Amino acid sequence: MTDARLHQPRPDLDQARAELARVFGFPAFRGVQDKVLTRVLAGHSTLAVMPTGAGKSLTYQLPAVMLPGTCVVVSPLIALMHDQLRAATANGIRAATLTSADTDRGATMDRFRGGELDLLYVAPERASQSHFRELLESAPIALFAIDEAHCVSEWGHDFRPDYRLLRPLLDYFDEVPRLALTATADAHTRADILDQLGIPGDGLIIAGFDRPNIRYTITPRDNPMRQLTRLLAEQPGPGIIYAPTRAGVEKLADQLGATGRPVLPYHAGLSPDVRAANQSAFVASEDMVMVATVAFGMGIDKPDVRFVAHAGLPKSIESYYQETGRAGRDGDPAVAVMLWGADDFARARARLGEMDEVRRAGERVRLDVLASLVETAQCRRAILLRHFGESPPETCGNCDNCLDRPAVTNVTDLARKLLSAVYRTGQSFGLGHVEKVLTGAADERVMARGHDQLSVYGIVGADEAALIRPVSRALQARGALVQTEHGGLMLAGDARDILKGDASVDLIVPKTPLKAEKPARRRKGASAAPAGDPGDDPLFAALRALRRDLAKEAGVPPYVVFHDSTLREMAALRPGSLDALAEISGVGARKRDAYGDAFLKVIGEFGDG
C-alpha cells in the first residue's frame, strides 16, 4: 500500500491546527507546541525541553498523521509505550509497539512495510540493532522521535548507554528529521543531547520548567505514617508515594492500606507479573495509591495523578522535578510533598565520595540545590526554576512557603556550640551523645570519656535544647556536618566559617506538617480543591460513572476515554448534539463517534439543570 501523503507538499501550521481539532479535539496549541511543530513539519531536527504535562507526545503524534511515512518513536520503557499506544489508538491514530513483550511482532512489521502505521514505538536497544535498520529500509520514515532524551547524556540524572547507540541509525537515515524530547535537562545536559543526537544548536526550543498547577510542600519527617495518612485524607484521587528502600515500600504500603484506601507496592524485588499487575491496577484506578521505589513512574502516562509524595530525599534535583512532575499532568491542581531528614543528607553526601571525580562536582551541586530547597523560607518554586536557568518571580502563590510564610530565627550561636561540641568530642560521636554533652546530662558514657570536663559540657540551656536536632538537621543539609563511616558526626563544608563568625545559620520555625487548607492568593490553575472529586455536581459524577463503565468494557484506563477536565466541561455546557459535543476540548472525531451518543444520553437525563 502506498501512502498518499508521499506525493503531497509539506503541511503547514494552519493544516496542523485543523488536524489538532479533528484528531484530538483541542481548539488550540499550548505553550511552545506550535514552535516545535513548525520545525518538525518543515523537516528540521529539534530538541524540545517541555515540562511534563505540556503535551510533548502531541508534537510527534500530530506530525505522524500528517507526514508521509511512519514516525518511529524511541522510548525507554515498554509500559510507557503501551500506555501511549492506548491513548493514540483511542484518538484514531494507527499505532503499534515493537517490543519483547508483544506477541504480534510479525503483524506489526507487516503493517509497517505496508505503510499502515502512523506511529511505531520501539526501545533504544532494538533501535540500535542491524535487523531493525533493515526493517526501516522497507518503508518511508517520516520522523525519529526520541523520548526521554536526557537518557542519552551522561551528564543527565538518568543516563542509559543504549541511547548512545542511536546515533548510527539516525545518521544512516540522515534525511529524516529528529525530534528529541525531555522534561528535565539543565544547560550542560541540553548541550550534550544536541551533540549526541546530531541536532543543530538553533533547533533547541525550551518551553520553561514551571508546573503552576503543582503545589510544592516540604517538611521535616517526624512521623511519616501520620503525615502521609493526613495527606491521603486530603487527597482522594490517585497518588504516588516514593520510599527509598524496598523494605520501606512494603512497610508503608501495609500501614497505609490499613486506612481503607486501596494501596499497592511497587519495587524491583517483586516478580515481573506482580509489578505489571500492580501498575495496571493503578493506571486504571481513580483513587489508588502506589507506594514505590524510583523504579516506578517513568513507565506510566497517567494524567490524573493528584499527588506525589517523597518519604525521603530524592536522588537529585532533576529526579525530584521529574518525579513530582508525574502529578497533575492533566493540568488540574495537584500536590507534591517531600518529607526529609538529616540522615537523608548524610547518606547522600556519603555517596558522593563513592563517585568518580568526573561526576562528583556536578552531583554535589545538585545536592546543594536540594539542600537549599528544603532549608529555604523563600519560594520553593523559584529555587527549583533557577536551577534550570530560569528567572522566576520571587513568589509563586502555590508552595507552602508562599501560602504560609514561615518564621525564621537566627541560630548561629547554637550552631557554633553544636559544631564546637562535635569537634571537641573528637568528631566520632553521633548526635545523641553530642546532645547529652551540650545539655550537661549525667550520662555514664559521657563521663567515662571525660566529656563532662569539656568546656562545651552543659552550655545549652533548656530553652535551646529543643532546637539542637533541627539545627543539626539544617547543618547536615547544607553540608557543614557530615556523617563518618561509623555514624559519627564530623565538620565539613562551611563549618569553620560558622565557628569563626564568618557565616550565619538561620532556622525555619517548624509549622504544622502538610498545612494545605489555608486560603491564599494563587495563580491561575492553582486551586486548592482536590481535582476529580465530583463534589456536589451529580451530573459530573454520573459522567464519571459512565466513563468508568465504558473504560472497563474497552479494557482501557478511564482517562483514555476522556479526561476529567473534558467531563467537567460537558457537565457545565450540557451539549445536546454530537456537533455541540465536538466543540468541547478533548472530544476528537474518533471519540465523538465512539462515545458521543452514550454521554449525550446521560446529559439528557439531567435536563437543563
The residues, ordered by sequence, that sit 6+ positions from 454 with a Cβ below 8 Å of its Cβ are: 421, 424, 425, 437
| Residue 607: per-residue pLDDT | 74
CA 245 – CA 341 distance, rounded (Å): 15
| Residue 76: per-residue pLDDT | 85
| Residue 130: per-residue pLDDT | 86
Closest CA to 241 of 274, 273, 284, 288: 288
The residues, ordered by sequence, that sit 6+ positions from 122 with a Cβ below 8 Å of its Cβ are: 72, 73, 74, 75, 97, 98, 99, 132
Task: Quickly list DSSP for 285-304.
Answer: -SS-EEEE-TTSSTT---TT
Q: Which regions of the chain are under pLDDT 70?
A: 1-8, 155-157, 297-299, 510-536, 608-609
| Residue 19: per-residue pLDDT | 96
| Three cell numbers written together for 448 | 567515662
Fold of 214-399: Rossmann fold (3.40.50)
3-state DSSP assignment of residue 144: strand
The full length of the chain comes to: 609
The CATH class that applies to domain 4-206 reads alpha beta
Domain 538-605 CATH (choose: 3.30.43.10, 3.30.70.260, 3.50.50.60, 1.10.150.80): 1.10.150.80
| Residue 510: per-residue pLDDT | 65
pLDDT in tens, 347-378: 887 788 788 777 777 777 778 788 888 888 88
pLDDT in tens, 547-579: 999 999 998 999 999 999 999 999 999 999 999
Domain ranges of the chain: 4-206, 214-399, 409-508, 538-605
Domain 409-508 CATH (choose: 1.20.1050.10, 1.10.10.10, 3.40.50.720, 3.40.50.300): 1.10.10.10
Do residues 600 and 575 touch, judged by C-beta distance below 8 A?
A: yes
| Residue 178: per-residue pLDDT | 97
| Residue 230: per-residue pLDDT | 95
Examine domains 4-206 and 538-605 and report if their fold is the same.
Answer: no
